[in-house]
Chain A
Amino acid sequence: MKRSFYTLWLPTLITSIMIISLFWTMQTFLHHNLAEMLQSHKRSQELTAKIEKMVSSTLNATFLGDEKGFLKTVELSNQIHDDILLIKKDNKYNTDSLFNSYEQLYKKLISAVSYTTENRLGDARMALEEVESYSNDLQMQMSELNNYFDQREKEVEQTLFVIMILSGSLLLFIALFNGFYLIPRRVIRPLEEFAEALKGSEEKYRIVADWTYDWEYWLDVNKNIVFISPSVQRVTGYTPNEFMQNTSLLIDIIHPDDVSKWSKHVSEAHLPNRPEEDAQEVEFRVVRKDGAVIFVDHICRPVYNHDGTYMGVRVANRDITQKIAILDELKEKNRLLDTLATTDGLSALYNRRYFDEALTREVEYAKRTGNALALVMCDIDYFKLYNDAYGHQKGDKVIQQVADVLKATFSRTIDVVARYGGEEFVILLQATPPAEAYKLVELARENIVRLGIEHKESKVAPFVTMSFGVVSCIPDLLSSGDRLLAQSDKALYQSKENGRNRTTLLEC
C-alpha cells in the first residue's frame, strides 16, 4: 500500500492537481480576459451613444447660446476619452485611429460652436459637414471595433472550450490509464499476490496451530475465545465448538478443589501490561467430559500486536496426568531405595551405614544442645551355637524376633535401633541420661528373656538371652562416635565377662 502510494496515487494526484490548476489558471485568465473584453465591448457600444449624446448636447447648447450648456459636452468628451483609453489598455487594441477620428470630430464640433458664436455661419456649416464626415468615420470604426470584440469573444470562448475538452480528456486518460493499466498492475495484482501469500501464510499457521498437540487457546481482552486448538477434544473430551459457544466451560471443567488456585492464577497472570516474555504457570485438575480427572499444566502469557496494543492472553495447556503418575511411581521407588539403603534386610532395622551417619550427627547435636546421649551395644549370647544347633533359618528367625523386641522397647521416633552385624545390635538414645538408659536396656533384656526362645546350647540359660553394654554421657569437645562405640563395646565386654545376660553401664 505504501509502495503504491508513492508509485501510483501520489503521481496521479500531483498530475491531476497540476492539470486542474493549469486549467483553472487558464480559464480564470481567459474569463478575466473575457470579462475585460465584455466590459470594453460594452464601453465601445456605449461610446457611439455617448458621442451622439455629446454632439446633441453641444448643438443644443449652441442653439440656446448657453455657455454652461457646454459643460455636458465637456463631461461626455472626457468620458469618451477615458473609455477609449480603457479599451486601448484592456485589449491592446490599436485605438489611435479611433481616437484621432474622435479628436477631429470634437475639434470640428467645437469649431462649429466657435464659428456660430462669432456669427461666421459659413465656416460653421463647413465645420458641421466635417463633423458629420468624422461621425460617419467613427461609426465605421466603432462597427469594426465591435466586430473585433465579437471575434475575440468567440475566440476566447472557443479557447476555453478547447482547454476544457483537453483538460477533461487528459483527466479521462489518466483515469482510464489508472483504471485499466496502473491500478491492475500496481495495486490489484500486488494485492492479489499479497492475499495469496496471506492465505498461504494463514493456512500454514492454521496447520501449525491446529496440529498443536497441547490444548491451546487465545482469549481476547474481553475474555472471549479467539482461537482454540482442535487438540482440546483430545485433552478434555469437549469439541472446540463447545468452548466457542460457551466460554465459561473453560472454568466449569476445572476440578472443584482447584478452582480457588485457578482464580488466584487468573487474578495475577491474566492481566495486561505484563511483559510478553513473562510466562506464568500453574497446575490444576480438569474433569473430562467422560468424568475422568486429569492433570493439566497451564502456561500463559500476554500478547501484544506490532504497535504494542494488548491483544489478550495466549494459553498452552498440557495433559500431564501420565507424567504425574510416573512421578508418583518414581517417588515411591526412590523412597524404597532409600529404605533399602538404610535398612537391614533381615531384621528390618536400620543398617550399620545408617547408624554410622546417625551416630556422627547425634554426637554433634548433643554437643550443641548439651543433652545426654546414650549408646547401647548388644549381642545374642552364644548365637553361633544356636545356629549350629538349630540351623541358620532358625537363627535368622531369632534375629528378627530380637529385632522386633528392641524396636518395640526403644519406640521413640528419635531412637535409632540398628543391626550392627551378625547377632550384634546398636541403639542410639537421644536425651537419655545413664540411669534412664540403664533402665530401658534392662527392660529390653527382660523382654528378650520373656520371649522364651529355646536355646539348649546356651551356657547361660535354656533360652535366648542377650548381653548389653551401655554408655551414656553429655558429649564434650573430645567426644566422638568412635569413642562412644569403643566405650559401649567395653561395657558389652564386661557384661560378657561377668556371665552374659546382663547390662553393664559405663561412663563416657
Chain B
Amino acid sequence: MRTIIFILFLSIFLQAEITSSNSIHFSGATTIQPIIEKIASSYQRTNKESLYVEGGGTEAGLQKIINKSSDIAMVARSLSEEEKNRFAYMTIAIDAVAVIHHESQVIKNLTKKELIGFYDGSIRECKNVGCECLNLIIISRKINRATLDVFEAYSGLKSPKRKNLPPDAKLIRADAWEAESNINTLLWVAGLKGAIAIVSHAEAIRYEKMGYPIRTSAIENVYPSTETIKNGTYPIKRELNLVWKKENLKVKQFIGWVKSGAMDASVSELGFVAVGK
C-alpha cells in the first residue's frame, strides 16, 4: 500500500511540474471543467493559446480571479447583482442538479419532502432506499460549491458549515459527507451502495453512460433532461457562467471565440443545455 501511495505522490508532483503559466488559467466549478477541458485542445490549435483548468469550486474560482491567480472563474450558479456589476461574465449553459443514488437502490422518484427527509436526517435507514447496505450515506457538497448553493435554494436546508445562520435554520444532517468535485461525488455514490448525492446532471449522465453504477431520480416525477430543464419543469437548475475581471484583457480572444458559438456543440455533447450566442 505504501508503495502505491508513493507512486501517487510522484504523479501529483509531476502533474504540478508540467503546468504552464503562459496560458489562460481557469478555476472554479468542476461542473464547467469538462467543458473547458473538451474544447482546450481545439482552441489551442486554432488560437495558439493554451488553457489550463483546475477545479476547486465556484467560490474558490471567484476568489482566484480576485487575487489574480486565475484568469477565468467557472461559476456554476447565477451571479448576484453585485457580482454582475463587479465582474464581466458570460452564461454558457444551463445545467440541472441531479439527485443520484447507487444502482442497487430502488428509488425512481423522490418528492421534495422525501429529498429533504434524506438530507435533514429524518430518513436514515437503508430499507428506505430498498437495498441491502451497511449505512445510508447522504452526500452533500462543500460550502464553496455552487451545487450546494442551488440545492440549498431548492430545499430550504442549509449546510451546518455556513456561518451566521439564523437560529431557526433547517440544516443538512451534520454527518452528511461533503464532496468537493463532481467526480468526488460520483465515485462515492458509485462505490458505496447506500449513497445518495446531488451532482451536476450532465456529469451524472456522462458517468452513467461510462458504466458507473449510478442512477438519477426523478424529482416530483420529473427526470432532468434538456427538455425539462428548458421548459422549467425540472425544479433544480442553475446557470453555468464564465466570470473574469473586466480589466483582464488576456481573456478577450477566448471570450470572443466562445461568443462566436464555437463551444456550443461541446456544451451540448456534454449534456448541458447550451444557451447560444
Q: Which residues of A contact B (CB under 8 A)?
A: 52, 55-56, 59, 62-63, 67-68, 70-71, 73-74, 77-78, 81-82, 84-85, 88, 95-96, 99-100, 103, 106-107, 110-121, 124-125, 128, 131-132, 135
**In the complex the two chains form, is B5's CB within 8 Å of A59's CB?**
yes
Minimum CB distance partner of B30 in chain A:
A118
Whole-angstrom CA separation of A115 from B15 in the bound complex = 12
**In the complex the two chains form, is A114's CB within 8 Å of B180's CB?**
yes
**In the complex the two chains form, is A73's CB within 8 Å of B137's CB?**
no
**In the complex the two chains form, is B191's CB within 8 Å of A73's CB?**
yes
Q: Which of B13, B104, B135, B180 contacts A103 (CB 8 A)?
A: B135
**In the complex the two chains form, is A119's CB within 8 Å of B15's CB?**
yes
Interface residue? B169 (CB, 8 A): no
Interface residue? B213 (CB, 8 A): yes
Interface residue? B257 (CB, 8 A): no
**In the complex the two chains form, is B54's CB within 8 Å of A119's CB?**
yes
Within residues 74 to 114 of chain B, which ones have a CB less than 8 A from any CB in chain A? 104
Distance of A332 from chain B, by nearest CB (Å) = 122
**In the complex the two chains form, is A110's CB within 8 Å of B54's CB?**
no
**In the complex the two chains form, is B180's CB within 8 Å of A115's CB?**
yes
Given contacts A110-B187, A113-B187, list 6 more A-B pairs with CB under 8 A.
A59-B7, A62-B8, A68-B211, A99-B134, A118-B54, A121-B13
**In the complex the two chains form, is B134's CB within 8 Å of A132's CB?**
no
Whole-angstrom CA separation of A334 from B119 in the bound complex = 140
Minimum CB distance partner of B126 in chain A:
A85
Which B residues are in CB contact (< 8 Å) with A115? 180
Q: Which of B8, B137, B177 contacts A59 (CB 8 A)?
A: B8
Interface string of B182-210 (1 = CB under 8 A from A): 01100110111100000000000001001
Give the interface size class of chain B: 35 or more
Contacts between the two chains (Cβ within 8 Å), count: 124
Q: Which residues of B contact A (CB under 8 A)?
A: 1-2, 4-5, 7-9, 11-13, 15-16, 19, 30, 33, 54-56, 104, 132-135, 137, 177, 179-181, 183-184, 187-188, 190-193, 207, 210-213
**In the complex the two chains form, is A103's CB within 8 Å of B137's CB?**
yes
Whole-angstrom CA separation of A388 from B56 in the bound complex = 194
Which B residues are in CB contact (< 8 Å) with A113? 183-184, 187
| A–B pairs, 23, beta carbons within 8 Å | A52-B4, A55-B1, A63-B8, A73-B187, A74-B187, A74-B191, A74-B212, A78-B191, A82-B193, A85-B134, A103-B192, A106-B188, A106-B192, A112-B8, A113-B183, A114-B181, A114-B187, A118-B30, A118-B56, A119-B54, A128-B9, A131-B5, A135-B1
Which B residues are in CB contact (< 8 Å) with A96? 134
Q: Which of B2, B184, B191, B211 contacts A114 (CB 8 A)?
A: B184
* Residue among B4, B33, B213 facing the most chain A CB atoms (10 A cut-off): B4
Which A residues are in CB contact (< 8 Å) with B135? 99-100, 103
Which B residues are in CB contact (< 8 Å) with A103? 134-135, 137, 192
**In the complex the two chains form, is B211's CB within 8 Å of A110's CB?**
no
**In the complex the two chains form, is A106's CB within 8 Å of B55's CB?**
no
* Residue among B5, B137, B184, B191 facing the most chain A CB atoms (10 A cut-off): B191
Whole-angstrom CA separation of A95 from B191 in the bound complex = 18
Nearest 8 interchain pairs by C-beta? A118-B55, A114-B184, A77-B191, A119-B54, A63-B11, A74-B190, A59-B8, A114-B181
